[in-house]
Chains A and B, each alone.
Chain A
């Protein structure tokens, strides 16, 4: 069981900044995020896009802002559970909470802060009726532990960076890759597109353009996919199909946590951004209140106010006076927090 002061759900910009603000008050944080890297939308959707409304930065790339926030939070040694979705919350007799992820990892803390943005990012699944039958039996939406697939022939669908990068990776590792895309223009980086064309010319890859995988065959495991084009349908025998169409956010299980939800967002009190469940806060794009604006800078403000009440919950007998970092500096934590203690 991972123990901390504040469990933060969502490692996007607002969750990361909450680590800093909590740290100034000597509170430790642990972040949970469904995607395997921190940064939320900024890393997942638009890392190379500039943001112009962060005070003090006339322009900053989204990915760069995430790096800076990680650096700012680093002295407070946050823990991370990445690649796992926060699935359930259970209130304990002493008022604290246990949050359990999709992989069963348990986290225990007196305060939970939901900084979940638009929700957890989940793969966009192609609309093929029997696709569910082959999930993990040949159909994979995310490439995990690529070593196991090296050298195997495969079909990859998509035209973005993820599809092209993996197609190139596996073709270079000796796999024969069918790359299937609905058009002949790719969203991926130009260099990747040229590399894929070179590999195709060298006979290590076949580029199927204006094509789409529309049928899946196999008794139990996947044995073949059928690629449709205007001209013909081609059956390609394969045990592996990676449809890599990016990820899209879903509010997901948090919607069933007994929180007041309005228009897909969690209702909070603007005094401290607490939800209807005492001890559970919602900050950033995931919350709503009269006058709400979904801006990163508003989320930073919300995080700062929320940790004040969190402090009072965690330290009911202590009084805290605001100290300026300019006067005090930033005193990080010396020791790492115990990352994971398995309880029997």
Chain B
């Protein structure tokens, strides 16, 4: 049985990248993007203390729930939409198979 799930990340130029990502390595979406050299800065390292890994969730069923720290950060970030989340706060689990996201614009 494979533990991988498929996710699609659309970069800032609109190009789609599809990955098979393992679910048993305690990864989050920011780390996956960085691992594949996508332009996600992940400045704070995953503490929800910057918004440099902001993504838009395109598959509604995968939106999940923003946690408190994440919500507070998004309250001050730019380019925030209803479907915004911080990639570092999204754990890669089996439920996310088929997830599709778009990377938010850079702040400046």
Contacts and interface: CB of A to CB of B under 8 A. Distances in A.
A187 B47 contact: no
Interface string B58-94: 0000000000100111011010000000000000000
A49 B45 CA distance: 12
B69 to A, nearest CB: 8
Contacts of B72: 159, 183, 185-187
B2 interface: no
Contacts of A160: 76
A149 interface: no
Contacts of B107: 124, 248
A187 B76 contact: yes
B52 interface: yes
Contact of B50 (A45, A49, A158): A45
Interface string A260-273: 00010000000000
Interface in A183-222: 183, 185-187
Given A127-B78, A159-B75, A181-B75, A248 B52 contact: yes
Contacts of A126: 78
B43 interface: yes
A126 B107 CA distance: 9
B47 to A, nearest CB: 6
Given A49-B47, A125-B108, A249-B43, A182 B78 contact: no
B48 to A, nearest CB: 10
A46 B75 contact: no
B44 interface: yes
B10 interface: no
Contacts of A159: 72, 75-76
B75 A187 contact: yes
Given A159-B76, A182-B75, A248 B47 contact: no
A281 B52 CA distance: 28
B73 A46 contact: no
Contacts of B50: 45, 248
Contacts of A41: 44
Interface of B: 37, 43-44, 47, 49-50, 52, 68, 71-73, 75-76, 78, 107-108
Interface of A: 41, 45-46, 49, 118, 124-127, 158-160, 181-183, 185-187, 245-246, 248-249, 263
Given A158-B76, A185-B75, A248-B43, 9 more contacts: A45-B49, A46-B49, A125-B108, A127-B78, A159-B72, A187-B76, A248-B107, A248-B108, A263-B37
